[in-house]
Amino acid sequence: MDRFLSIDWNAPLEDLIDNTFISEERLEKESVIYKILTGNFKDPFKNIEEDYKDVEIDLMKDADPDLNEMKKECEVKQVKKINRYVPGSFKPIFKFPKKSKLNKEQQAMCLRVLLTFSKSNKPKLTQKEREELKKYMGLQQIISEEQDEFLEFAKSKWNERLFNIMHEDFINLSWKSKLQDIYKLPRYYSEVTSIPFAADKNVEVKFISNCLRLGKLPKIMLPTFTKPCILRINSAHLRKRFLPNKNTFKESSNSVKLPVSEDINCQKLAEDNDVDLVISSSGLKCLVNNIDPTHSNSWILPIVIKRYNDKNVIYINKPAPPIASTVPEKNTWVYKYILKYFFIGTKYLTSESNEGDNIFDDVNSEKLLQLEEEYENTLTKIKNKISNVSNVSKEDKNLEGISTQQNLTNDVHSSDVLNCKKESLNTTTSNFCNASNCISNEDIQNKISEETEDNISYDLFTIGPQSEQSELMKNVIKKYKILVRTKTHGFEILKNKVQRLLLLTPKLEHQADLVVEIVTLEEASKQWISLIFRPHTYLARVRISTKTSEVLQIEHRTAIKNVLDIHSIYSGIFYTLPNPRWIPLDKTLPTPMLKYFERMPTLFYPSNNKTLSKEKKCNTKIVRKSLRNKKNSVFRIDIDE
């Protein structure tokens, strides 16, 4: 201690300065550069292998197991870091006004309960899950109130969001091509009668059989969500794929692009099977979109009546294109084509890609354009070879295998077209898949270039009231035969190699930074009727972010007196309606991001409190307020004094 106290901490400054920065002796002894310049440098790593030649590294690893464990932990962390892609990880655009009343642990528990009961099959609950369900029911009132508050917040921010039309040039071209069918119709119309859409009886639809199927089903490859799937493409590629003709308005010989009243397949099948009504799937969706008087909606549905076998047959053609639409409606229109471009046929994408390759990258490359041209040339040659109609296989019962589908052609004047089979199947039959009738992936890939873009199916149904006992004959409503022309997008192969028919439909998410939107009643009704009249078909609802064009998640679902100048209402411009209505958010569907962060849908960020105790919070506020008042009162007394 005496030595420490004797140190002079205020030494003069001149003693700290040395005239020589590095002495010559130190330079010769320690400087590597000096040794290199003088040629005296020796490499310390030279012949280092000989020094460790007798050392067995494997024995050292076995002797120190901690090294192995640390290495394994690092590898696991690296794997987790690589695979940690969560679709739709967006930061909210708007700042939340408050924290949630539920903390992180409570929201995670509620999310587990929600996911358990959102499964299709009835869950078998463990004791822990029963306890969590009980806690969830106890928090139900708090959750419901906060969700309503969250929806009000989302609605208040709706008008602050930006809505941009995507590929407007392609939308307008497609709209004008559909408009040509309207200009072929008579111009002036007058109101004759009103047709009620309400019935006092339960209506039953039954599937009879498939009468005719044209074309081949392409394979659909959906994203696996191991990496981002961005659906970005320019309008030129869409025009080349879906509007290939230089003359956009040239009449097409493809049956699916013709009105059903001009489709010779429909005429022949309607005459042979004593059909009362012929309609396309788009006409059905138009009719079912008649929700209630409060739902504002208008549409034009051309109808043609023809007479066969001493009876009138009604043909309901495709609906006319809308006069005006909102920005979200127009974007939904174009995304129907974008989904087909990326997922249907997969003529550009192989099922087995090299590691690290992004199959959705660089869709505008010259190589891709060359592949498109080769495909279009092959497709044209195939269509020119189509000339005859073949029989529908009698062994194709219940439509249980894609491999039994016939590549039928367009010449329906052939006498080989048979009457539809008289087998009555209810539309609730849901499982199309049959593992014994699967097509191998190699066969599909070899025939991709030979597949036609459009496949058409003509199915026979009956529609009428459900049979009731003790019904008077005068009150019995007749059952009608309906011939429905539909188109299925393709089929997908599941993990167990089972195939199923699939329809693709986009669901645009404008509020993906908050949570996904609900399926509107209009969307649900159209999708429901599409599945009802497509037996054994599933619906793939692809949720897409409008901001980034990223696929967020995919849901699979199954069924269940004025004179009008029709030409004058179309001015040649597809108008855009301002102020699209707000679509409420879905309270029950968690996004992948919410699952990852263990948060409940339509709730604010979890609070930091570990337990939810209203009384404790309330008492704390009272104590703080009383202390504040006491300080203020003391302060006032001091001033008065």
Q: Annotate 182-250 with three-state secondary structure.
A: HHCCCCEEECCCCCCCCCCCCEEEEEEEEEEEECCCCEECCCCCCCCCECCCCHHHHHHHHCCCCCCCC
pLDDT score recorded for residue 356: 40
Residue after which a domain boundary falls, among 528, 549, 581: 581
pLDDT score recorded for residue 294: 66
> What span, in angstroms and rounded, lies between the C-alpha atoms of 113 and 133?
6
Residue after which a domain boundary falls, among 581, 603, 629: 581
Report the candidate in 186, 183, 179, 523 with the shortest Cα–Cα distance to residue 321.
179
Mean pLDDT computed over 405-409 = 36
pLDDT score recorded for residue 431: 34
CA angle 26, 29, 33 (to 5 degrees): 95
The number of residues in the chain equals 641
Share of the chain above pLDDT 90, in %: 23
313 and 173 in a single domain? The answer is yes
Q: Is residue 261 part of a domain?
A: yes
Whether pLDDT at 67 is above 60: no
Report the candidate in 621, 513, 604 with the shortest Cα–Cα distance to residue 99.
604
**Residue bearing the bigger pLDDT, 639 or 479:** 479
Under the banding of pLDDT at 50, 70 and 90, the label for residue 401 is very low
Whether pLDDT at 461 is above 90: yes
Lowest mean pLDDT among 33-47, 148-162, 347-361, 492-506: 347-361
Q: Is residue 509 part of a domain?
A: yes
Under the banding of pLDDT at 50, 70 and 90, the label for residue 331 is very high
Whether pLDDT at 641 is above 60: no
Residue after which a domain boundary falls, among 581, 601, 621: 581
How many folded domains does the chain comprise? 2
177 and 316 in a single domain? The answer is yes
Whether pLDDT at 359 is above 80: no
pLDDT score recorded for residue 557: 87
Whether pLDDT at 165 is above 50: yes
Please count the other Cβ atoms lying within 10 Å of the Cβ belonging to residue 507. 21
pLDDT score recorded for residue 402: 37
**Residue bearing the bigger pLDDT, 50 or 387:** 50
Mean pLDDT computed over 483-488 = 93
**Residue bearing the bigger pLDDT, 475 or 169:** 169
Instruction: Specify the amino acid at residue 154.
Output: A
Report the candidate in 106, 100, 237, 139 with the shortest Cα–Cα distance to residue 604.
100
**Residue bearing the bigger pLDDT, 374 or 154:** 154
**Residue bearing the bigger pLDDT, 591 or 491:** 491
DSSP string, 343-387: HBS-SS--SSPPTT--TTS-TT-HHHHHHHHHHHHHHHHHHHH--
Under the banding of pLDDT at 50, 70 and 90, the label for residue 468 is low
Report the candidate in 188, 141, 167 with the shortest Cα–Cα distance to residue 235.
167
Residues 6+ apart with CB under 8 A from 426: 206, 207
36 and 176 in a single domain? The answer is no
Q: Is residue 367 part of a domain?
A: no
Q: Is residue 539 part of a domain?
A: yes
Whether pLDDT at 170 is above 70: yes
Residues 6+ apart with CB under 8 A from 412: 212, 264, 265, 267, 268, 269, 389
Instruction: Specify the amino acid at residue 10.
Output: N
Lowest mean pLDDT among 30-34, 50-54, 421-425, 513-517: 421-425
pLDDT score recorded for residue 614: 46
pLDDT score recorded for residue 473: 56
Lowest mean pLDDT among 176-185, 314-323, 608-617: 608-617
pLDDT score recorded for residue 358: 41
Q: What would the two tokens of residue 499 be?
A: 């195939």
Q: Is residue 472 part of a domain?
A: no
Chain Cα centroid distance, residue 309: 46
Report the candidate in 633, 503, 509, 483 with the shortest Cα–Cα distance to residue 583.
509
Taking a C-beta distance cutoff of 8 angstroms, is the pair 316, 303 a contact?
yes
Q: What is the CA radius of gyration of the chain?
A: 36
Whether pLDDT at 198 is above 80: no
Report the candidate in 515, 586, 593, 507 with the shortest Cα–Cα distance to residue 554.
507
**Residue bearing the bigger pLDDT, 262 or 85:** 262
pLDDT score recorded for residue 587: 78
Lowest mean pLDDT among 48-62, 159-173, 508-522: 48-62
The boundaries of the domain holding residue 36 are 1-49
Q: Is residue 84 part of a domain?
A: no
Instruction: Specify the amino acid at residue 319.
Output: P
Counting other chains too, the contacts that 12-20 makes at CB distance below 8 Å and 24 or more residues apart are none
461 and 329 in a single domain? The answer is yes
Q: Is residue 502 part of a domain?
A: yes
Under the banding of pLDDT at 50, 70 and 90, the label for residue 91 is confident
> What span, in angstroms and rounded, lies between the C-alpha atoms of 259 and 254?
10
Residues 6+ apart with CB under 8 A from 448: 218, 219, 345, 346, 347
Q: Is residue 134 part of a domain?
A: no
pLDDT score recorded for residue 408: 34
Under the banding of pLDDT at 50, 70 and 90, the label for residue 574 is low
Residue range 110-132, pLDDT digits in tens: 999 988 888 777 778 888 989 99
Backbone angles phi, psi at 434, to 5 degrees: -150, 110
